[in-house]
Amino acid sequence: MTPRPLSITLLALLWIGSGAVGLAYHLSELNLHQPLHNDILWVSLVRVLAIVAGIFLLRGRNWARWLAIAWIAFHVVISLWHSWSQAAVHVVVFAVFSFFLFRAAANEYFRSDRASK
């Protein structure tokens, strides 16, 4: 078994933390009288996907790194409707995360025995 690279651990914890903090923040906006009024369920689902991606990155699942990349790519697309500076930051984050998730050490980690379980 290939040991988990530190960069994967840090990114996974970042996804878990980001998802958990975002989920707690957005669920505080939930109005039980009109739960579907402000798309809180969709936003919460996106946050849960971040948590799932982070957990399974720690477990060495290859599909989780694709989910993580899709998650940040989704944020890049959403940021295009905001300021250019926000979009630029998301593009840089996407590039950095992609680098660490797909470099040689990460490829070996996700290719190891634990990825097939």
Is the pLDDT assigned to residue 92 strictly greater than 90? Answer: yes
The span from the CA of 42 to the CA of 31, in Å, is: 14
How far is residue 19's CA from residue 49's CA, in Å, rounded to a whole number? 8
Q: Convert the pLDDT of each residue in 3-41 to its tens digit.
A: 999 999 999 999 999 999 999 988 777 766 665 666 777
pLDDT at position 29 is 73
User: Among 13, 10, 42, which Cα is nearest to 29's?
Assistant: 42
pLDDT at residue number 27: 78
CA angle 80, 84, 85 (to 5 degrees): 120
Give the residue-averaged pLDDT of 77-104.
94
- Residue type for position 89: V
The pLDDT-based confidence of 113 (bands split at 50, 70, 90) is: low
